[in-house]
Amino acid sequence: MKSKYLLWAGLTCFTAIALFLTFNKHSRAGCFNYHSEIWSDKAGYYVYLPAALKYGLNPDNFPDSIVQKTGNGFALDRKNKKVLTKYPCGVAMLQLPFYLLANTLAAPMHFEPDGFSHIYNWSVDVAAVFYLVLGLFFMGAALKSRGGGRSAFLVPLALFLGTNLYYYALDESGMSHIYSFALFCSGLFLLQHTNYLKSGSRLNILVLGVIGGLIVVVRPTNIIFLLSYFFLDCNSKTDRALRVKRLLQPAVFLPVILGFLAAITPQLLYWNYAYGSFFHYTYGNEGFNWLHPKLAETWFAPRCGLFLYTPLWLIIVAGLGWMIRQKEANGLFLAGLFLVISYVFASWYDWGFGCALGGRSYVEYLSVMSIPLASLFEKIRGGNRSIQVGFLMLMLAMVALNLKMTYSYDGCFAGLNDWDWPAYFRFIASPTK
């Protein structure tokens, strides 16, 4: 009982600190600029809420110049009476309760109840912190159910402080990554809790279907993560075949598919409203160059290479190597998953994904990559004291570097090209903002 009180007290304190940090960061920026929570891509994810709930999907009802004020993240087609955004609606669906709260409080607190004033920006911050805490909680619970000791607490904390999860939860709170992260972590926990659909109530199975659908409509490439059901903790082809067979059983398949369809239906309805078809590719000429992936850039380029901006990923890769060497069940799958997502991200027409602090598309996969990190933690914890101290100092250095880079970053890499090393080192040495 005492441990539960300590857990909830710790989560409460952590939430309060996270809220302070994100509000402090954004209070200095104000609204309608590239630092604000509803701007550019973030506005494109968010616009579903005011569009549907305040303006009746009629572009003529929107405030004047709101597209330009929010960084052109969406478009208002006044001729055809359409509100157009290329971004999927999953983020807005998860932000909905916080939007409704902001909308209720806007007028009493003397804010313009237009869906875009300060209080609505703040609601995005609160939403991001909520899903951050939810994700870290379920990550710890999943690791604990795997037999993790202290690593069930230390790994989530290390990943938050030592990776760009921190930045995309507290600074870029309107981007999709923290929402995907929470869904991945909760989905992993529930998969383990139901023994990969072998047990558990139909409600749990329905919720897994909803989570699977949300994972897809938050970020379509997240569909790769759904492979975890078929491979994670799976020791043989026979086990995998049994999982497929189990999924196809009516008592499992029906609630899964109903939950999945319930989650993706708003997206299908929006596409039909906006483009006249229930299925539509909204990214135009933006796509994948499968034959020429930029893997070297994705991992090592000074612009936003994964290992240069988040070197803790090197420890995760070392954990993958350790798992494979020890012939642990998930080693090969997780290593393969890392290579697959790296290939997909490197094949996107803009391998750096715009103005990103490091490999932002990897953030949500920290959920499942907590497993090799926890395995390495447990191994080192059982080693000699000098190795433990050395590892602790290394982790603290990576946390310090991550926080330094987070508070020095101003939105875009300032170099002239992807491999501008002097610009990278100037960024490392630059003062915090």
C-alpha span between 94 and 412 (Å, rounded): 27
Does some domain include residue 184? yes
**Residue pLDDT, tens place only, 373-432:** 999 998 898 778 999 999 999 999 999 999 999 999 988 998 999 999 999 999 999 888
C-alpha span between 251 and 264 (Å, rounded): 21
Does some domain include residue 50? no
C-alpha span between 374 and 382 (Å, rounded): 12
Per the structure, the complete domain to which residue 179 belongs is given by 123-421
Does some domain include residue 100? no
Does some domain include residue 86? no
**Residues 6+ positions from 156 with CB-CB distance below 8 Å:** 136, 139, 140, 143, 370
Does some domain include residue 10? no
Tokens representing 212 are: 């699977």
Pick from 340, 268, 284, 299: nearest CA to 90 = 268
Please report, as a single letter, which amino acid is at residue 226: L
**Residues 6+ positions from 225 with CB-CB distance below 8 Å:** 184, 187, 215, 364, 365, 368
Domain count, the chain: 1
CB 249 within 8 A of CB 260: no
**Residue pLDDT, tens place only, 83-104:** 999 999 999 999 999 999 999 9
Does some domain include residue 87? no
Helices 385-406 and 421-429: crossing angle, nearest 10°? Answer: 100
Does some domain include residue 391? yes
Q: C-alpha distances in angstroms, 173 versus 21, 46, 306? A: 12, 11, 20
Does some domain include residue 384? yes
**Residue pLDDT, tens place only, 304-318:** 999 999 999 999 999
Contacts 24+ apart (CB under 8 A), 269-273: 270/48, 270/89, 273/57, 273/82
H-run or E-run covering 6: helix 2-27
**Residues 6+ positions from 300 with CB-CB distance below 8 Å:** 306, 307, 308
pTM: 0.97
For the segment 114-133, the average pLDDT, to the nearest whole number, is 97
Give the SS3 label for residue 75.
Answer: strand
Please report, as a single letter, which amino acid is at residue 100: L
